[in-house]
Amino acid sequence: MEKAKIKAWFLIFRPWSFTATAIPFIIALALVPPTHGIARWWIGLISGFLFQATVNLLNTWGDERSGVDRVPGTICTTPQVQQGLISIRTLLAVALLCAATAASLGLALCFYQDGGELKVSLPLLAAGFIGLLGSTNYSTGIKFKYRGLGVPFVAFLMGPLEIFVAMCILHPADSLSFITPLNTLLTIPAATLVCIIMHGNDMRDIPTDRLAGIKTMATILGPRGALILYWTCHMFPYLVCAMMIGRYGTMFLLPFMALPLTRRTLTAATRTYLECPENPQWRRLERASGGIYTVFGILYAIAIYSCMR
């Protein structure tokens, strides 16, 4: 039973999804390398992992309370709770503990030394507070996930916002200087690729989410519209890289090494749609998209570091 519980907690934390936090932090590190050590970056990354764990745990808690996993034909996302391995109260308590720990670490990072004087980075404090609100209102509270706002919510929270937070952590005294058109443009690939992981999952769940009365971007757009959005989010990062090649160098060709993975995933998703346009049986899109996001993100960070010096 102990081994079963350990495995249950491992699955419910979904540590493989933490690349969605790691990639924005790596991109930020490529954009503004630290000048006085990297310890703050590591603390920020740990805080980011804890915030994401909060989202994962509260998402499981919210799904269980909403009853979405009890809809006939749905793929159960809360088996650990339904099998009695983890109680719903313990799940909530651990989620709140992760949120509190992440917030405490984030608050500590808002303070920094400048010329021997202790100062507070107000932009980092504000951005961190938005992140806290976001992580606790995805599938609970406001419930962006169930209001058709999950995709834009995740795109902003784990794209521009998280990269900005990481840059502020590295250089708290220069926070506002990082809000530039170029930096905003460079956050778009991370934003669009991270949201397709969730959108791919939503595409799979269109029939059961409709039965449960849950709104997602996929249920609102329908199968055809959802597939078009999936294609768009996959291709936009390559468009950004193409725009950067002429101005900043051919190293921005590096992320195109992920293009065969993208082509394979989009081909499979399109073929599945054409087989049954009314009810496509999409499977494993989120897993394939997560792999593309990780590979593209690492190559993209290398390109930024090489060209943006």
Q: What is the pLDDT of residues 29-51, one digit of tens each?
A: 999 888 767 899 999 999 999 99
Listed range (64-68, 170-174, 175-179) with the worst mean pLDDT: 64-68
Q: What is the pLDDT of residues 190-201, one digit of tens each?
A: 999 998 888 988
Q: What is the pLDDT of residues 119-168, one digit of tens each?
A: 999 999 999 899 888 888 877 777 787 788 888 888 999 999 999 999 99
Q: What is the mean pLDDT of the chain?
A: 87
pLDDT level of residue 213 (50, 70, 90 thresholds):
confident
DSSP states of the chain as a string? -HHHHHHHHHHHH-GGGGHHHHHHHHHHHHHS--SS-SHHHHHHHHHHHHHHHHHHHHHHHHHHHHTGGGSTT---S-HHHHTTSS-HHHHHHHHHHHHHHHHHHHHHHTEEEETTEEEE-HHHHHHHHHHHHHHHSSSSTT-GGGBT-HHHHHHHIIIIIHHHHHHHHH-GGGGGGG--HHHHHHHHHHHHHHHHHHHHHHHHTHHHHHHTT-B-HHHHHHHHHHHHHHHHHHHHHHHHHHHHHHHH-GGGGGGGGGHHHHHHHHHHHHHHHHH-TTS----SHHHHHHHHHHHHHHHHHHHHHHH--
| All structural domains of the chain | 1-173 (1.10.357), 180-309 (1.20.120.1780)
pLDDT of amino acid 307: 84
pLDDT of amino acid 253: 95
pLDDT level of residue 309 (50, 70, 90 thresholds):
low
